[in-house]
């Protein structure tokens, strides 16, 4: 079942690429005490994800911060090495934290998995965005069209916060 408005984000561990290699990120710490936008997408270096989804958050970082967003996370079912390389390629800097959910455990805990096994990609994130206030979900945006960012791109999130 997909996480809903009013629910607490589940506790878990994601990974990010640090200066010395992969580092764990506690979701309790990442979401606690601040307003966070978490967006998820099917895969690093894929067309819509690279050309539209991530850039929408990088380009609108200042506008999101002006509306009280303290942090933005990009989650994908990839490893920390891939997410780190993709973050460099996308020039996210400190605007977006690239979060790896290598085994899709957190994606499944959110109920936001997408089975792309028939396409050779296994279980991935569906395309979504969540607004989280101090660990509690205040908005859930899941794309009807997995190739679009009408609901989960930064402009859509700016309209609802």
The DSSP H or E segment spanning 141 is strand 136-142
Cα–Cα distance, 70 to 54 (Å, whole number) = 17
Nearest to 137 by CA among 27, 18, 15, 55: 27
The position carrying tokens 């499944």 is 108
* pLDDT computed for residue 126 by the predictor: 87
Active site residue 74: no
Per-residue pLDDT in tens (0 to 9) along the chain, 161 residues: 899 999 999 999 999 999 999 999 999 999 999 999 999 998 778 777 677 789 999 999 999 999 999 999 999 999 999 999 999 999 999 999 999 999 999 999 999 987 766 766 656 788 899 999 999 999 999 998 877 889 999 999 999 99
Four-CA torsion 33, 127, 14, 30, nearest 10 degrees = -10
Catalytic residue among 14, 17, 49, 83: 49
pLDDT for 42:
86
Q: Rounded to an integer, what is the distance from CA 7 to the centroid of its chain?
A: 17
In SS3 terms, 14-83 reads as EEEEECCEEEEEEHHHHHCCCEEEEEECCCCCCHHHHHHHHHHHHHCHHHHHHCCCCEEEEEECCCHHHH
Inter-residue contact 115 to 51 (CB < 8 Å): no
Structure confidence at residue 119 (pLDDT): 67
CB distance 159 to 149 below 8 Å: no
Domains of the chain listed by start with CATH number: 13-160 (3.40.30.10)
Phi, psi for 116 (deg, rounded to 5): -110, 30
pLDDT at 148: 83
Residue 41 · residue 49 · CB < 8 Å: yes
Q: What is the pTM of this model?
A: 0.93
């Amino acid at each position: 079942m997909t996480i809903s408005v009013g629910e607490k984000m589940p506790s878990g561990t994601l990974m990010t690429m640090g200066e010395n290699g992969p580092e764990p990120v506690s979701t309790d710490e990442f979401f606690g005490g601040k307003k966070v936008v978490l967006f998820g997408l099917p895969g690093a270096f894929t067309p819509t994800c690279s050309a539209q989804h991530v850039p929408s958050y990088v380009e609108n970082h200042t506008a999101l911060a002006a509306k009280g967003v303290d942090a933005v996370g990009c989650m994908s079912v990839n490893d920390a090495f891939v997410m780190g390389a993709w973050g460099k390629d996308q020039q996210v800097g400190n605007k977006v934290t690239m979060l790896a959910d290598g085994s899709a455990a957190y994606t499944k805990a959110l109920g936001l998995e997408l089975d792309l096994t028939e396409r050779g990609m296994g279980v991935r994130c569906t395309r979504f965005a969540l607004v989280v206030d101090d660990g509690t979900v205040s908005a859930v945006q899941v794309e009807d069209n997995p190739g679009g960012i009408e609901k989960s791109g930064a402009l859509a999130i700016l309209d609802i916060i």
